[in-house]
Amino acid sequence: MLAHRGRAAQAREGAANLAQISLARGEGLVASFVQAQPGIVELALGNYREALAAAQEVFAADPPDLGIKLLPDLVEAACRAGEEKTAAMGLARLRQRASASGTPWAPGLLARAQAILADDDGEAEDLYREALTELSRTEAAVDLARAHLLYGEWLRRQCRRRDARGQLRTAHESLTRWAPTRSPSVHE
* Whether residue 74 is found in the same domain as residue 110: no
* Whether residue 62 is found in the same domain as residue 112: no
Query: Per-residue pLDDT tens for 1-29?
Result: 676 666 777 877 777 777 677 667 766 66
| Nearest Cα to Cα of residue 141 among 174, 97, 169 | 174
CA–CA distance, 132 with 181 (Å, rounded to integer): 29
- Is the pLDDT at 54 greater than 60? The verdict is yes
* Cα 40-4-25 angle, rounded to 5 deg: 65
| pLDDT, the chain, mean | 84
* Whether residue 69 is found in the same domain as residue 5: yes
Is 187 a domain residue?
A: no
* Whether residue 8 is found in the same domain as residue 73: yes
Which pLDDT score is estimated for 69? 83
Which pLDDT score is estimated for 175? 83
Q: What is the mean pLDDT of residues 98-114?
A: 92
Is 165 a domain residue?
A: yes
CA–CA distance, 169 with 171 (Å, rounded to integer): 5
Is 134 a domain residue?
A: yes
Is 150 a domain residue?
A: yes
Is 89 a domain residue?
A: no
Query: Per-residue pLDDT tens for 117-164?
Result: 999 999 999 999 999 999 999 999 989 999 999 999 999 999 999 999
Residue 79 · residue 87 · CB < 8 Å: yes
Is 129 a domain residue?
A: yes
Q: Give the CA-trace dihedral at 149, 153, 158, 163, to 10 degrees.
A: 40
Q: What is the pTM of this model?
A: 0.82
* Whether residue 122 is found in the same domain as residue 62: no
Q: What is the mean pLDDT of residues 49-74?
A: 83
Which pLDDT score is estimated for 186? 39
Range of the domain at 45: 1-81
- From 22, 48, 81, give the residue that closes a domain: 81
| Nearest Cα to Cα of residue 149 among 46, 9, 67 | 46
Among 51-65, 83-97, 106-120, whose mean pLDDT is lowest?
Answer: 51-65
| DSSP 8-state secondary structure symbol assigned to residue 177 | H
Is 186 a domain residue?
A: no
Q: What is the mean pLDDT of residues 100-109?
A: 90
Q: What is the mean pLDDT of residues 74-99?
A: 94
Look at the chain and report how many structural domains it folds into. 2
- From 38, 53, 81, give the residue that closes a domain: 81
